[in-house]
Amino acid sequence: MSPLNIKKGSTKHSAYNLRPTFSDVQETHTLAVLVDNEPGVLARVIGLFSGRGYNIDSLTVAEVDHTGHTSRITIVTTGTPQVIEQIKAQLGRIVPVHEVHDLTVEGGSVERELALIKVEGSGDKRVEALRLADIFRAQVVDSTLESFVFQITGTPEKVDAFVDLMRPLGLVEVARTGVAALSRGV
């Protein structure tokens, strides 16, 4: 095709835009999504995220109204402002989704997470673990002579901090619920 001056074998052109043109500032948002509690609704929400390449940092779901059969899904997600807007619009398009709230922009929210943390150790380390648990207001929910299971509630950052402190003291495993969140005020 020499008259058109396209170099033979050129890979410059493609069937698609090969470079994204959006801003790359990443933001983390907490979304509350109210849905009909019907089979497959969680798969729809998760499928949306995986199908369109969005991130899920944390996701919790449970029925919150047993008579109306509605569930609340709390999703923490990270993306550019444009992607966050798309996520909200795409969630709103799912038929069993009633409401989508971006708690991060809607006047702030309280966020809490619960974690169970198993720590193994003896002697000074065991004492230190117990003392730190007291400072963090973590409760002991299981105890053997060589181990504790702590229950801690708080923001994800607080849980992270506590887990980091337990690591050198004999951390065995961690189970976290993910974030539950509500907007502040009414």
Partner 1 sequence: MTRQMTGAKMVVQALKDQGVDTVFGYPGGAVLPIYDEIFQQNGIRHYLVRHEQGAVHAAEGYARATGKPGVVLVTSGPGATNAVTGLTDALMDSIPIVVLTGQVPTFMIGSDAFQEADTVGITRPCTKHNWLVKDTDKLAGVVHEAFHVATSGRPGPVLVDIPKDVQFASGTYTEKAKVKVSHYQPQVKGDMETITQLVEAIETAERPIFYTGGGVINSGPAASQLLRELVDATGIPITSTLMGLGCYPASGKNWLGMLGMHGLYEANLAMHGCDLMINVGARFDDRITGRLDAFSPKSRKAHIDIDPSSINKVIRVDMPIIGDVGHVLEDVLKVWKARGRKVNKEAIQKWWQQIEQWRAVDCLKYKPSGKTIRPQHALDRLEQLTKGRDRYITTEVGQHQMWAAQYLGFEDPNRWMTSGGLGTMGYGTPASIGVQVAHPDALVINVAGEASWLMNMQEMGTAVQYRLPVKQFILNNERLGMVRQWQELLHGERYSHSWSEALPDFVKLAEAFGCKGILCQDPADLDDAIMEMLEYDGPVIFDCLVEKHENCFPMIPSGEPHNKMLLGEASTKDAIGSKGAVMV
> What burial class does residue 107 get, using C-beta atoms within 10 Å of its C-beta: 0-12 exposed, 13-18 middle, 19+ buried?
exposed
Taking Cα atoms as reference points, which of 51, 59, 98, 99 lies closest to residue 78?
Answer: 59
Q: Assess 185 for contact with partner 1 (CB under 8 A).
A: no
Q: Please pick, from the candidates 73, 84, 90, 126, the single residue that binds partner 1 as defined by CB under 8 A.
A: 90
Is 64 a binder of partner 1 (CB under 8 A)? no
Residue 35 beta carbon to partner 1: minimum distance, rounded to whole angstroms? 11
Give the interface size with partner 1 as a residue count (CB under 8 A): 33
Cβ 19 to partner 1, closest distance in Å? 8
The one among 69, 98, 167, 184 contacting partner 1 by CB under 8 A: 98
Binding of partner 1 by 47 (CB under 8 A): yes
Beta bridge pairs of residue 117 = 150, 174
Give the separation between CA 59 and CA 37, rounded to whole angstroms: 16
Structure tokens at 181: 């969140």
Among residues 27, 64, 68, 89, the one that binds partner 1 under rule CB under 8 A? 89
Helices (H), 101-166: 124-135, 156-166
> In angstroms, what is the minimal distance from the CB of 62 to partner 1?
20
Locate the DSSP E strands across the chain: 27-36, 58-65, 70-79, 97-102, 109-120, 139-143, 147-154, 171-176, 180-183
18 in contact with partner 1 (CB under 8 A):
yes
According to CB under 8 A, which one of 69, 93, 131, 184 is a site residue for partner 1? 93
Which residues of the shown chain bind partner 1 in the complex (CB under 8 A)? 1, 3-4, 6, 8-18, 21, 39-40, 43-44, 47, 51, 82, 85-86, 89-90, 92-96, 98
